[in-house]
Amino acid sequence: MPSDRPEWHGGPSYGVRGTIQVRTGAGNEPGTWQSWGMAAQINPSILSADFARLAEEAKAVEGADWLHVDVMDNHFVPNLTLGVPVVESLARATDTPLDCHLMIEDADRWAPQYVEAGAGSVTFHVEAAAAPVRLAREIRAKGARASMALKPATPIEPYEDLLPELDMLLIMTVEPGFGGQAFLDIMLPKIRRTRELISKHGLELWLQVDGGVSASTIERCAEAGADVFVAGSAVYGAADPAQAVRALRTQAEEATARASWACDH
């Protein structure tokens, strides 16, 4: 893998098993597609940011792949954050695409509104969706990436047949509801089993982890098979959030390069 990340133009393109190609030509020039090892995307969670300064806090992590937006309704989880109007404003205030993680009941009803609000990826919890296949199709049809989340006690196995309907699967590595909790190591086997299912079916499905992801846990997640990493306190609690994003990405990419799941591409 090259030691310096090349300058990207037009965003990355993902191949099978997380390989990443980037276009290095500027403007409308054709440019060249350059292979950039295994993808590791870092999504800072604004749950740990200052909610009175969201636009500035988004700018503080420019260079992040996505901005992770935690929507909580005080019913599905015992905490309350923000909703559609804030997502609409944030989408206008930043060029970083929004990764909306809905920790809300009645996801079937609300998730499509977050696509309309400007989210590039919308994650619903399977525990809160009455018809996850219909909902994933609706999110995709409206133009966003469709993603499904599993709480720690929810197994992946019953959902194997649904995976082709999704662009990303989120494995919670804490009980959802709050930032700053300790990473649950007991989720690592579920991450490994999910990566095996993705490989078995040859899917281009991103595997996201969320909760307690930091410099001391990200390598374990990457080695187990995650390729999208949400980090709240580890990014916004750092003196230089943008540097924290770069450091986490480097750690994750190096751990991925060592991982057996990524060796056979």
Query: Which residues are at the interface with Zn ion (CB under 5 A)?
Result: 70, 101, 210
180 scored as a contact of ligand DX5 (CB under 6 A): yes
How many residues bind ligand DX5 (CB under 6 A)? The answer is: 22
Binding partner of 225, given ligand DX5, Zn ion, none, CB within 5-8 angstroms per partner class: none
Binding segment for ligand DX5 (CB under 6 A), chosen from 8-16, 128-136, 151-159, 211-219, is 211-219
101 scored as a contact of ligand DX5 (CB under 6 A): yes
36 vs 66 by CB, closer to ligand DX5: 66
Contacting ligand DX5 (CB under 6 A), which of 18, 97, 132, 176?
176
210 a catalytic residue: yes
17 vs 41 by CB, closer to Zn ion: 41
Task: Report the b/e string of 131-167 with b at 16+ CB within 10 A.
Answer: ebeebbebbbebebbbbbbbbeeeebeebeeebebbb
| Contact positions with ligand DX5 (CB under 6 A) in 112-131 | none
209 scored as a contact of ligand DX5 (CB under 6 A): no
Please tell me which residue in 65, 70, 99, 167 is annotated as part of the active site: 70
In whole angstroms, the minimum distance from the beta carbon of 173 to ligand DX5 comes to: 8
Task: Report the b/e string of 225-253 with b at 16+ CB within 10 A.
Answer: bbbbbbbbbbbbebeebbebbebbbebbb
50 vs 196 by CB, closer to ligand DX5: 50
22 vs 146 by CB, closer to Zn ion: 146
| Contact positions with ligand DX5 (CB under 6 A) in 223-262 | 230-234
| Contact positions with ligand DX5 (CB under 6 A) in 41-60 | 45, 47-48
Please tell me which residue in 65, 99, 167, 210 is annotated as part of the active site: 210
181 scored as a contact of ligand DX5 (CB under 6 A): yes
Binding partner of 48, given ligand DX5, Zn ion, none, CB within 5-8 angstroms per partner class: ligand DX5
211 scored as a contact of ligand DX5 (CB under 6 A): yes
SS (H, E, C) the chain: CCCCCCCCCCCCEECHHHEEEEECCCCCCCCCEEEEEECCEEEEEHHHCCHHHHHHHHHCCECECCEEEEEEECCCCCCECCCHHHHHHHHHHCCCCEEEEEECCCHHHHHHHHHHCCCCEEEEEHHHCCCHHHHHHHHHHCCCEEEEEECCCCCCHHHHHHHHHCCEEEEECCCCCCCCCCCCHHHHHHHHHHHHHHHHHCCCCEEEEECCCCCCCHHHHHHHCCCEEEECHHHHCCCCHHHHHHHHHHHHHHHHHHCHHHCCC
Query: Which residues bind to ligand DX5, rule: CB under 6 A?
Result: 45, 47-48, 68, 70, 101, 174, 176-181, 210-213, 230-234
Active site residues: 70, 210
